[in-house]
Structure 1
Amino acid sequence: MHQGRRRDRRPVHHAEPARHEAPVPAVAGTDVVIVGCFSGRQKDFAALMDAAARELDARGARVVGRIVQRRGVSAGGARKMALPFSARTLLTYGKVREAALLCEKTAAGAAVFVTPLTPRQRRVLTGMLGCPAISLAEITAVD
């Protein structure tokens, strides 16, 4: 019996659609929540959060809350200390939920991260937090 021709099973490569990054929203006149992710060895995290609050205040934003994620020192050693908890969110799932609740409770217009964010982290965190997630480095780079 004759078999019909089989389709070629090689994967089809589709062109990746161009992703346009959303512009960094202006923080002037906006209520913001500051989010920081710090190593357990970094003792001056409170001073870094205060400096970020002063920078945002100078740009016309009003800080309505702060979330700090501390990464403790584990038996695994220092090599993991520089890595984020999650490549998608930078934070643990519990801290993301805590930040989302704080953003909702304070009606924050943005969540400003002290550490730099990748474009993917910005997209994921914006969806999870319910407000734009931006890094302080992006805000200071606008000038």
Structure 2
Amino acid sequence: MHQTRRRDRRLARRARPEPARRQASRLTVVGADVVVVGYFSAKEKDFVTLMASAATELTARGARVVGLSVQRRGVSDGGAQKMGLPYSSRTLLSYGKVRGVAEACEQANADAAIFVASLTERQRRALTAILGCPAVSLSDILAAD
């Protein structure tokens, strides 16, 4: 009987993220102040163009881009060996970069942080809590329209 309760609690915990998923898909960028965040490997030489095209795409949808932030992976010798892995499975970015993005969001009073890379539900929840504004993947914004 005790195990049944434990299983029930686990199922209840798994059911909670559903509203966060709905909220992320409902986010409209029309009139929103957004910070665009990119995560690129050192192999990606054209990351500036990718960031500019993401900002242009968001501007075309009615958003105001108030900040840009880029995290590059694999630039140093140690990072090149781990290039396929994110800095943190929880936040995708390094701790210092997350703090920098949070400060940029706070200073610009941003309505959302739009990530060029796709985010998992866990990353989305963690980044939303840390940044103080919704963290959404650009692919989610493009798919919503």
State whether TM-score is above 0.5: yes
Scaled by the length of structure 1, the TM-score of the pair is 0.87
Superposition RMSD in Å: 2.1
- Which residue in 2 is equivalent to 1:23? 23
Match of 1:47 among 27, 46, 49: 49
Which residue of structure 2 aligns with residue 109 of structure 1?
Answer: 111
> TM-score of the superposition, structure 2-length normalised?
0.85
The offset of 1:81, in angstroms, is 1.2
User: Does the alignment pair 1:95 with 2:97?
Assistant: yes
Q: Which structure has the greater CA radius of gyration?
A: 1
More helix by share: 2
Residues 1-143 of structure 1: pairs in structure 2 closer than 5 A:
13-15=6-8, 16-17=11-12, 18-19=15-16, 20=18, 21-24=21-24, 25-75=27-77, 80-143=82-145
Q: Given the superposition, is the C-alpha separation of residues 53 and 77 from structure 1 closer, same or farther in structure 2, using an over 3 Å criterion?
A: closer
Structure 2 alignment gaps of length 5 or more: none
Cα distance in 2, alignment partners of residues 70 and 28 from structure 1:
29
Q: Which runs of 4+ in 1 moved over 3 A?
A: 8-13, 73-79
Tell me, which stretches of 5 or more residues in structure 1 are unaligned?
1-7
Q: Pick closer, same or farther for the CA change 1:80–1:29 going to 2, 3 Å.
A: same
Identity %: 57
- DSSP 3-state at the match of 1:13: helix
Distance in 1 (alpha carbons) for counterparts of 2:4 and 2:116: 41
Where 1:57 maps in the other structure, the secondary structure is helix
Distance 1:110 1:77, change over 3 A: closer
Whole-angstrom distance in 2 between the partners of 1:105 and 1:46 = 23
SS at match of 2:133: coil
SS at match of 2:36: strand
